[in-house]
Amino acid sequence: MNIKRRTWYIGSALILVIVVGVVVGLTLSRSDGTSTTAADGQATVQVVRGDISRTLTVYGEVVPKQEYTFTFDGDRVNQILVSVGQRVEQDQVLVELDDTQLELAMLQADRALQEAQAEGVPALIREKELSYHIAQQNFEDATQRAPFAGVVTGINQATTSSENWSLVLIDTSELYIETSVDQLDAPDVAVGQTAEAVIEPLSDRTWPVEIVEVGGMAVSKGNSTVVVVTGKLPEADPRILVGYTVEMEITTASATDVLILPISCLVESPRGWMVMKVVDDESTPQPVTIGATSDAYAEIQAGLKEGDVVLLNSAVRTESKQDDQEQRGPFQPGGMPMGGFGAGMP
């Protein structure tokens, strides 16, 4: 056998191996029931059933159910009975103020009320009753009590005689996550949606969240315009501290056991969405109705059934045919009608 003939045999064998590889590759591609190849060599995909969801990732912080700030004159402070970080019960005494003057005012108001009652003038009696109730309330307020169970988060002493002291109490019986959503994404967020949160100092697990409030107005924040969104944590875990930073993934759309297709199959026309449906190795435009979408897939609500085959990259196919139309003219063989795939559709 000479060298030329041996080379020809080796070349034939290589070609045969390549051909077999291509056939096997196409067979394997078809075997999963989702990806095949059309007669013209373009990739296709089958309509299948599956689940789909779209999420939005935002960042925020843990906030309490409510917050209350007490303010009082530092010169009147007799004793502060709590410290920062301390948990207190409802009605527990937090601060005792000097009540000498307040007690005197209450006693004077009480005496004035008794005198008015003795005179028997209704209008005067009512006036003194109101004065006494105000004096009594001021006297009682000299003892600052917790309006709810919570945690003392701050005690700020005045630096000048004209300033007031303050004490901050937060209610941690329920915890929330407050975040800012860009105005372009805000229309997709609604009360009742679910989310998953990762609290940075406790990143060993995720926390389920329910969206409970979407702000009623957009506000400027830096260079953006945002809407404040609030989610509720299902449990007030003592490990979660107010102020912790959070990454939250909100599920803005979802569908279960529905017909789905890759997004790349879809083409937008003046009359709505469509795909290039393949029948007998020929592709034709097919209008479809889409529902929930994700970054990769779309729910098909109408226009196709399970098992239908469509071109995987319909947009590329559409552009190719439009270019071909421009070269051939709108009424030459192979050309498309003026207006593209939407023209002439019912």
What pLDDT, on the 0 to 100 scale, is given for residue 206?
93
pLDDT > 70 fraction of the chain, expressed in percent and rounded: 78
- The answer, yes or no, to whether residue 34 has pLDDT greater than 60, is no
Residue in this structure with the two tokens 């100092």, named with its chain if needed: 201
- The answer, yes or no, to whether residue 16 has pLDDT greater than 60, is no
Under 8 Å between Cβ of 165 and 71: yes
What pLDDT, on the 0 to 100 scale, is given for residue 286?
92
What pLDDT, on the 0 to 100 scale, is given for residue 5?
41
Residue in this structure with the two tokens 């409802």, named with its chain if needed: 90
- The answer, yes or no, to whether residue 346 has pLDDT greater than 70, is no
- The answer, yes or no, to whether residue 82 has pLDDT greater than 90, is yes
**DSSP per-residue codes, 182-219:** ETTTGGG--TT-EEEEEEGGGTTS-EEEEEEEEEEEEE
Lookup: tokens for 231: 């989610």
158: DSSP letter: -
- The answer, yes or no, to whether residue 337 has pLDDT greater than 50, is no
What pLDDT, on the 0 to 100 scale, is given for residue 120?
87
| Helix 122-140 / helix 100-119 crossing angle, nearest 10 deg | 160
Average pLDDT in the chain: 80
- Between 34 and 59, name the one with better pLDDT: 59
pLDDT tens, residue by residue, 120-153: 889 999 999 999 999 988 888 888 899 999 999 9
- Between 332 and 166, name the one with better pLDDT: 166
Highest mean pLDDT among 5-19, 23-37, 96-110: 96-110
- Between 325 and 286, name the one with better pLDDT: 286
What pLDDT, on the 0 to 100 scale, is given for residue 236?
81
- The answer, yes or no, to whether residue 341 has pLDDT greater than 90, is no
- The answer, yes or no, to whether residue 309 has pLDDT greater than 60, is yes
Residue in this structure with the two tokens 């071909």, named with its chain if needed: 324
Under 8 Å between Cβ of 128 and 111: no
Neighbour-count burial for 107-126, b at 16+ CB within 10 Å, e otherwise: eebeebbeebeeeeeeeebe
Cα distances (Å, whole numbers) of residue 7 to 2, 151, 318: 9, 87, 44
What is the rounded distance in angstroms from the CA atom of residue 316 to the CA atom of residue 262? 14
- Between 39 and 9, name the one with better pLDDT: 39
Under 8 Å between Cβ of 294 and 54: yes
What pLDDT, on the 0 to 100 scale, is given for residue 36?
57
Q: Is the pTM of the predicted complex or chain greater than 0.75?
A: no
What is the rounded distance in angstroms from the CA atom of residue 101 to the CA atom of residue 183? 54
Mean pLDDT value across residues 173-198: 95
Bridge-partner residues for 273, per DSSP? 268
Name 293's Cβ contacts closer than 8 Å, sequence gap at least 6. 52, 54, 253, 263, 299
Neighbour-count burial for 251-260, b at 16+ CB within 10 Å, e otherwise: ebbbbeebbb
What is the rounded distance in angstroms from the CA atom of residue 113 to the CA atom of residue 122? 11
pLDDT > 90 fraction of the chain, expressed in percent and rounded: 55
